[in-house]
Structure 1
Amino acid sequence: MLRALLTGVTAGLIALAGSASAETLRFSNWLPTSHPVVKDVMLPWKAAVEKATEGRVSIQILDAPLGPPPAHYDLAANGIADITFGAQAYTPGRFKTSMLAELPFLGDSSEAISIAYWQVFKERLEAAGEYAGVKVLGVFTHGPGEVFTKGRDLSSLDGIAGAKLRIGGGMANDVATALGAVPVQSPSSKAYELISGGVADGILFPFESVTFFRLDGLVDQGFVVPGGLYNTSFFFVMNRRTWDRLSEADKAAIDSVSGEALARLAGEAWDAADAAGRDALEGKVQLHVATEEQLGTLHQMLDPVIESKLDEIAATGVDAKAAMDDMKARIAAETR
């Protein structure tokens, strides 16, 4: 009887010790739960972390964000949240190296671009020191961004000139300006309201976002550029103090499902969402694919933007031209 009692007490103490050492990390997210980044990236990554750490680390994706989207990097850096997701472009001028992944004409696959981006980030960009206060768990991009409008003829580049286009900031702003459009900066959630109300004529978006934000019944034409007009860069980051208090085993476990694995997961999810989005536009939106002549004109208009961004990246101490060449080579290798 005594032995059974002692055995039960010992088992209880072991269970309590195990639960006391477990870490529950709070993840602040501002996207709707139905968004592909939540259901096809965050949730699978959460499950992968919990499996890799054998339950020693669990992740709680909060029901409501702890601040607006532009605040999410600082929410992690300051320890208000343990982990956050965000877009570097939401804080203009702060993350110059991320522009490398947002350049025009990089490629047609989010997966290829995201994997190449992570590899170049680790080997060339991270040393610029732009991510103070956090452990960078991953960086990736959405699929190629294109132009979509209501009531404008996009068979010619003239249809873009003068158009008021909603943009989210970053490279999209510079691309819209270089094409002669008028950028209207606003959250993506306001896109339907802006276009339906005539405040904007259209939007720069990947295919996924056109259908996710219910614009497929609103816009009527699209202009598609091989390689894309831009991409948007995103991050997953963890508060540095939170990271440092984890065991070496748990750090290694989290790293094993983050970084390149996270870039691949996100890229695959976005490519699938883009493909579904493009299929959903069939018969609803007239798509014009840029001709060789139009591509030549686009390069004349956008190559100066690329050079300007490379200069900004170089100001961080990174060999920007070498980084771009490396990025393109890795994208090509992933695409083959």
Structure 2
Amino acid sequence: MHHLLRQLVAALAVAGCAFGATTAAAQTTTVKYSNWLPAGQAMRVEVIEPWIAEVEKITQGRVKIDTLPKVVGTVPAQFDVARDGQADLVVFIPGYTPNRFDILEVAQLPFMGDDPERLAPVVDRFYRKNLASFNELKGVHPLSVYVVSPGQLFNRVRPIKTLADFKGLKIRSPQASSTQALSLLGAVPVSKPVGETYELLSSGVLDGTFMPPESIPAFKLTDLVPHATIVPGAIYNTILVLGINEDKWKSFSQADRDAITRISGDAFARNIGRAYAKGDKAAFDTIRKAGRTVEVLPEPVVAEMKKTLAPIEKDWIEKVKKKGVADPQKLIDQLRADFAAAK
């Protein structure tokens, strides 16, 4: 009798262990990440991949991020991919879908800042404090809102030292604010994705491109664009968002959400800014070693450019007033003040 009892207790203990193991396994939530960044790209290698590993570590394996073998949908559609649950986690660029994230575009206006290491974390904090309430990202929880390096101008025709030098140049533009800037400067904007730049420059369709300096060697353009122009303060920045499907985010425990939030937000943004600042420096070293010219626009020309590009700000103000922003100028002034005060 005792022997049978012992066997029964042992059997129950084994069953209990198996049940416990099943419960632990069931607690792992897998997050599907739709990745479009190429292998070796700075944001992917230096920031996103370490962040993915850190998420699993700080949640003790309860949240595991699985990078899908290829992007789900198109790059411009990544917000919808996350919102509709086709994938859970994305990086999306609001500027790729004009007239949709208008209020967020405040950080893309001319002369907001040219130091990504300082500006990227400022943009994340500014979004949370001043822009989140407008609910432009409904359905997607923004883990980090940030900028990369500002686009600078690279061309194959001539050094740019005055505003007149822009006239007639066919320049690739990545977003609406840079397209408007090129038009106001007398250049011819051509809206094309970054992947087509090499072919369009080498065939002579394009004279140049707006691009973060870090990307010039990365896309093998150093020999195609001998003239680099740095505009102090920057003609434009590009906002990116690391976002997760809202329902997926809510499915995590509060403790795991808090832990992930601590390593996201402005901390993630600063890491992005640092990676791009480092990449820009390396890119300019490569460009100079190749014997190319790097012109910094002098202050009087920058002052003239600010006047020429003033309509971009005015148009944005009018646009977002219609979206319910009572005092758009206050937002512009606040973001510039936040950047000026940033360490």
Q: How would you bin the TM-score normalised by the shorter chain? A: over 0.9
From 269, 291, 301, the equivalent of 1:294 is 301
Cα distance, 1:312–1:111 mapped onto 2, change above 3 Å: farther
Could you tell me the TM-score, scaled by structure 1's length?
A: 0.95
When Rg is computed on C-alpha atoms for both structures, the one with the higher figure is: 2
Q: Distance in 2 between matches of 1:264 and 1:40?
A: 12
Tell me which amino acid in the other structure corresponds to 2:286: A
Instruction: Say whether residues 1:71 and 2:108 are aligned partners.
Output: no
Corresponding residue for residue 109 of structure 1? 115
Corresponding residue for residue 208 of structure 1? 214
Corresponding residue for residue 253 of structure 1? 259
Q: Distance in 2 between matches of 1:205 and 1:98?
A: 20
Q: Is the 8 A contact 1:101 1:113 kept in 2?
A: no
Query: Helix, strand or coil for the counterpart of 1:207?
Result: coil
Could you tell me the TM-score, scaled by structure 2's length?
A: 0.93
Query: Helix, strand or coil for the counterpart of 1:282?
Result: helix
Corresponding residue for residue 309 of structure 1? 316
Q: Distance in 2 between matches of 1:307 and 1:146?
A: 23
Query: Helix, strand or coil for the counterpart of 1:25?
Result: strand
Tell me which amino acid in the other structure corresponds to 1:18: A
Corresponding residue for residue 325 of structure 1? 333
From 37, 60, 63, the equivalent of 1:57 is 63
Q: Distance in 1 between matches of 2:201 and 2:178?
A: 17
**Which structure 2 residue ranges, 5 or more long, are not aligned?**
1-5
**1:235-274 to 2 correspondences below 5 Å:** 235-274=241-280
Question: Over aligned residues, Cα RMSD in angstroms?
Answer: 1.6
Q: Is the 8 A contact 1:178 1:305 kept in 2?
A: no
Corresponding residue for residue 137 of structure 2? 131
Query: Helix, strand or coil for the counterpart of 2:268?
Result: helix
Instruction: Say whether residues 1:38 and 2:48 are aligned partners.
Output: no
**1:60-209 to 2 correspondences below 5 Å:** 60-209=66-215
Query: Helix, strand or coil for the counterpart of 2:216?
Result: helix
Cα distance, 1:278–1:315 mapped onto 2, change above 3 Å: farther
Tell me which moved more, 91-100 or 312-321: 312-321
Q: Is the 8 A contact 1:171 1:232 kept in 2?
A: no
Query: Percent of aligned pairs with the same residue?
Result: 34
Question: Residues 132-171 of structure 1: CA distance to partner in whole angstroms, max 9, x if unpaired?
Answer: 1111111111112111100223233222111000111232
Tell me which moved more, 321-330 or 17-26: 321-330
Query: 1:307 offset after TM fit, Å?
Result: 2.2
Instruction: Say whether residues 1:11 and 2:17 are aligned partners.
Output: yes
Q: Distance in 2 between matches of 1:271 and 1:13?
A: 51
**Which structure 1 residue ranges, 5 or more long, are not aligned?**
none
Q: Distance in 1 between matches of 2:217 and 2:104?
A: 26
Query: 1:15 offset after TM fit, Å?
Result: 2.2
Question: Residues 289-322 of structure 1: CA distance to partner in whole angstroms, max 9, x if unpaired?
Answer: 1112211210111122122223323333233222
Question: Residues 241-294 of structure 1: CA distance to partner in whole angstroms, max 9, x if unpaired?
Answer: 111222111111111111122211211122111122122111332111111221
Q: Distance in 2 between matches of 1:6 and 1:280?
A: 68
Structure 1 runs (4+) greater than 3 angstroms displaced: 1-12
Tell me which amino acid in the other structure corresponds to 2:341: A
Query: Helix, strand or coil for the counterpart of 2:80?
Result: helix
Q: Is the 8 A contact 1:138 1:262 kept in 2?
A: yes
Aligned residues: 335
Q: Distance in 1 between matches of 2:342 and 2:14?
A: 55
Q: Distance in 1 between matches of 2:169 and 2:298?
A: 20
Query: 1:227 offset after TM fit, Å?
Result: 1.1
Tell me which amino acid in the other structure corresponds to 2:314: E
